[in-house]
Structure 1
Amino acid sequence: MTSAGSTIATRPRVQSAWKRLLLSEYLVLILTVIYFAVMLLIVPEIATADTLLDILSAMMPLLVVAIGQTFVLIAAGIDLSAPSIIAMASVVGASVMTGDNGYASGTGLEIPAGILAFIAVGTAIGVFNGLCTTRFNMPSFIVTLTTMMFFSGAAIWYTAVHTDASSIGNLPPAFVAIGQGRVFGLPISLAVVLVVGGVAHFILSRTVYGRWLYSVGLNPKAAAVSGVPVRRVIFWAFVISGICAAISSILYTGRLETGTPVLGQRILLDVVGAAVIGGVSLFGGKGKILWTIFGVLFLAVIDKSLQLMGLPIASVFAIKGSIILAAAIIDAQRHRLLVRG
């Protein structure tokens, strides 16, 4: 009887411990450390300085676009157009600053003009997504899926108009350094990400807009009754997402040294998955920039470890898809626990 009673008494404590772990904002960081430790036994190269720097460099552009996605997810929406924004901004920005008869070639303002073109493309597409979602009450899934398809094709057409090649190269070395360069051994792109992440964290945690965004994601009707401009809040979430995708495109284009219409073609799963893995809820109203950082780190470590193991691309996608599915299931369980209190 004593043993049975002890077992019964232990169950609530074990369940409580699992519940705390499941709801912990550091769950993904803990899993990353555990996964890294296991991989260290299988592929010791993962702990070398060069490999760790490669992981850090790979994280930077993905983290920027995932930060933008975080805003939309908090508002209980989704932005599937991020890859097409990255591609479209890449070819437009490259066409402005390329040394092969670029629009700003020879003016001395190639890089500022090119970066402005990147941001302008991301902002414009973000505005379009936001207007369609808020003014026409269209589901964000349908709007951004259509946008993704249209601008993916538009990027290919734009490239064909401006060059006979499949991409636009001959970019200024100073621009390429944004994506490839290092200072004191650290990638220059890290400075860009620190600024974007810092501003995003400030908006979410220290501004009225941040509080509005969370309230809209939790309950838009209640937020509207409380005086929150729901449509405006959702609109700006998509604009922010578009701008972040454009900044990410700058980093990706700099890394590749060329503007290409297929840039970002395979990262949609990573963009949404990184945020969800980190703990940003698909149900809206819940998320932090720190969580997104954890999610991106987790995916970057997995990507690098699978590369070092020499697995085929099909296996990589299957493994990452399984991990993101598991993250969605965990998110549903978290949501259920929070609803039950």
Structure 2
Amino acid sequence: MSTTTPTPATSTTSSSSGSAPPPRHRALLRRLLAGEGFVAILIVVFILAMAPFARGLLTERNMVNVLSNFWPLAIIVIGQTFVLVLAGIDLAQTAIINLTNTVGALLVSRALEPALFQNSVLWNTVIGPDGGPLGGGWPGILSALLIVVVIGALLGSLNGLAIARLRMPPFMVTLGTMLLFSAVAVWLTRSENVANLPDDYVAIGQTSLWGALTVPALIAVALGFAAHYLLGRTPFGGWIYAAGTNRDAAIISGVPYKRVVVTAYALSGVFATVGGLLYSARLEAGRPTLADDLLLDVIGAAVIGGVSLFGGKGSVLGAALGALFFVVLSNSLNLLNLPFTVVFIVKGLVIVAAALLDVARTRLLGGAR
């Protein structure tokens, strides 16, 4: 009498359930939160919701104003992205902006009031009543720009060295240097704004080539593509994502962690410097307190754009869209003529929401970039 051994139904069920795709709603959430499309949708919905209340929001003049504020902020946020993807943070970005835009203005200024600046440590050595030494034309201006970009890279590298070599916490290092660099900017100028900048210098932040195509737009797009290439197409970008996801595993795998950290913070300093110079040129003055209120916008924009505070996730396009959202948010709140206390309350709520969104993304996306 022959017998047939039945195939266990339980094994089939368990294997199929183990490899089953996630529920449809969870897959849709993952797709929505993982891409930059989420931020783009958020911007469109916000503009449509605010347009009936914020008069002039959709006018051509206001759009030009929004873009003029967007380009430098986008550059700064992209610089912060290098550090956040690495699971760090650069609180000193705003202080680097304060110091470098001030030094740049001092170098190219055509005239300085003795009553305001004669107590500066630079008086009668680097600067004087006739201004700075490099404001006589394009060669001098380009030299000044190169000098301050190098200064920004060096200041960022100092942060990176302290974090990588001395194993100090990024938050404490950059908090300390934020106070230090900002104090130096105020000390050099005696807390005075630096005016009388050359027309060629001011043109960098104001020149329109064709409609909305401006010099700051070209600079921002060029730096954005360069950053995208670095993060997405080079070993350095892979090292940043690997180190941000799991530092110890990255080191064991051969990632030159210390060099990556120093380079990331140097890039953060360079991008902050360029963004600050565009702000300074647009405002036609060097200001030692130029970026004092900018830090939360930068961090919030990066997180809204999908750059994780936990490291290992983020993109240049997402960071730029996050910057655009924050510019539109600030612009619409200003058009509503709200008290500054209400503006800060709203921004604070948005930043808290961004942090919650980051937690939600991390739980839903797991290891996905």
**Equivalent of residue 270 in structure 2, options 223, 243, 249:** 243
Return closer, same or farther for 1:312/1:222 CA change in 2, 3 Å cut-off: same
Structure 2 distance, partners of 1:259, 1:122, is 15
Instruction: Report the counterpart of residue 298 of structure 1 in structure 2.
Output: 325
- Give distance in 1, aligned partners of 2:136 and 2:41: 51
2:334 to 307, 313, 316: 307
Normalising by structure 1, what TM-score? 0.92
Q: Cα gap change, 1:21/1:147 in structure 2, threshold over 3 Å: closer, same or farther?
A: same
Q: Distance in 1 between matches of 2:232 and 2:34?
A: 20
Q: 1:273 aligns with which of 297, 300, 307?
A: 300
- Give the aligned partner of residue 96 of structure 2: 85
Q: 1:17 aligns with which of 28, 34, 37?
A: 28
Cα drift, residue 168 of structure 1:
1.1
Amino acid at match of 1:188: V
Q: Kindly provide the CA deviation profile for residues 162-198 of structure 1, in whole angstroms up to 9, marking residues without a partner as x.
A: xxx7111111111101112211122321011011101
**Structure 2 unaligned spans of 5+:** 1-22, 112-130
Check 1:35–1:228 CA distance in 2 against 1; reply closer, same or farther (3 A cut): same
Could you say which residue in structure 1 is the equivalent of 2:61? 50
Aligned residue for 2:52, secondary structure, equals helix
Instruction: Specify which of 276, 286, 303 is matched with residue 259 of structure 1.
Output: 286
Structure 2 counterpart SS, 1:46:
coil
Residue equivalent to 1:179: 205
CA distance in 2, matches of 1:108, 1:293: 30
- Kindly indicate whether residue 158 of structure 2 is the aligned counterpart of residue 128 of structure 1: yes
**What residue is the counterpart of 1:325 in the other structure?**
352
User: What residue in structure 2 maps to residue 96 of structure 1?
Assistant: 107
Deviation of residue 273 (structure 1)? 0.8
The answer on whether the counterparts of 2:303 and 2:355 sit within 8 Å (CA) in structure 1 is: yes
**Which residue pairs with 1:157 in the alignment?**
187
1:223 is matched with which residue?
250
Structure with bigger gyration radius: 2
Amino acid at match of 1:224: I
**Pairwise CA distance, 1:289:** 0.3
Residues 17/127 of structure 1: CA separation in 2 closer, same or farther (3 Å cut): closer
Deviations, residues 283-306 of structure 1 (Å, cap 9, x unaligned): 101110010011011111111111
- Measure the CA separation in 1 of the matches of 2:208 and 2:366: 46
Alignment RMSD: 1.7
Map of 2:15 onto structure 1: none
Amino acid at match of 1:301: V
Instruction: Report SS of the residue matched to 2:88.
Output: coil
Deviation of 1:44 (Å): 4.4
**Higher-helix-fraction structure:** 1
Does residue 208 of structure 1 match 2:235?
yes
The one-letter amino acid paired with 2:94 is P
Give TM-score, length-normalised by structure 2.
0.85
Name the residue aligned to 1:166.
192
Hey, what's the Cα distance between the residues in 1 that align with 2:167 and 2:43?
39
Q: Structure 1 runs of 4+ off > 6 angstroms?
A: none
- Once the two structures are TM-superposed, the CA of residue 107 in structure 1 deviates from its matched residue by 6.8
Say which SS state the counterpart of residue 154 (structure 1) adopts.
Answer: helix
- C-alpha distance in 2 between matches for 1:124 and 1:307: 36
Change (3 A) 1:333 1:249: same
Task: Note the alpha carbon deviations across 1:204-254, whole angstroms, 9 max, x for none.
Answer: 111110111100100111111111111111111000000001101110110
